[in-house]
């Protein structure tokens, strides 16, 4: 009997732990959004490093003024586009956050109503 009970308890624990990874579409959407945001952030930081490298090359005399301005402006435009994409993905996440907040407030109201209507000691 203890073996069966232990096995059932272990299966229940595995199910609870695995549910966020397999069971809910919301969790998958959040993780996909996080991955996209992190890729954009990494790309933006790579561009910032390139700008820093170009600045160092210009100061050391390896680049002419025209090449420096051309490359720097192109990289700044790329960084601005990535920032715009990041803010767009953030605002899409904000809509989900607002929906979650509405659901939470609804659940709070329902629990408050059930407490008010419950037995008083």
Chain segment 19-77, per-residue pLDDT in tens = 767 655 555 556 677 788 889 999 999 999 999 999 999 999 998 999 999 999 999 99
Q: Measured between alpha carbons, how far is residue 91 from residues 37, 78, 98, 105 in Å?
A: 12, 20, 10, 21
55 neighbors 97 (Cβ within 8 angstroms): no
Q: Measured between alpha carbons, how far is residue 98 from residues 17, 36, 45, 66 in Å?
A: 26, 20, 29, 48
pLDDT of 120 reads 47
Residue 61 DSSP class: T
pLDDT of 88 reads 77
pLDDT of 7 reads 92
């Amino acid at each position: 009997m203890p073996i069966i009970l232990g096995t059932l308890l272990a299966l229940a624990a595995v199910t609870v732990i695995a549910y966020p990874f397999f069971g809910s579409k919301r969790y998958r959407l959040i993780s996909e959004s996080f991955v996209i945001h992190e890729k954009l952030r990494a790309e933006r930081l790579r561009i910032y490093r390139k700008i820093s490298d170009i600045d160092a090359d210009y100061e050391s005399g390896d680049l002419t003024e025209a090449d420096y301005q051309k490359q720097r402006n192109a990289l700044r435009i790329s960084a601005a586009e990535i920032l715009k994409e990041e803010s767009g993905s953030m605002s899409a996440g904000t809509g989900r956050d607002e929906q979650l907040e509405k659901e939470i407030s609804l659940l709070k109201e329902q629990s408050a109503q059930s407490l008010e209507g419950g037995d008083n000691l």
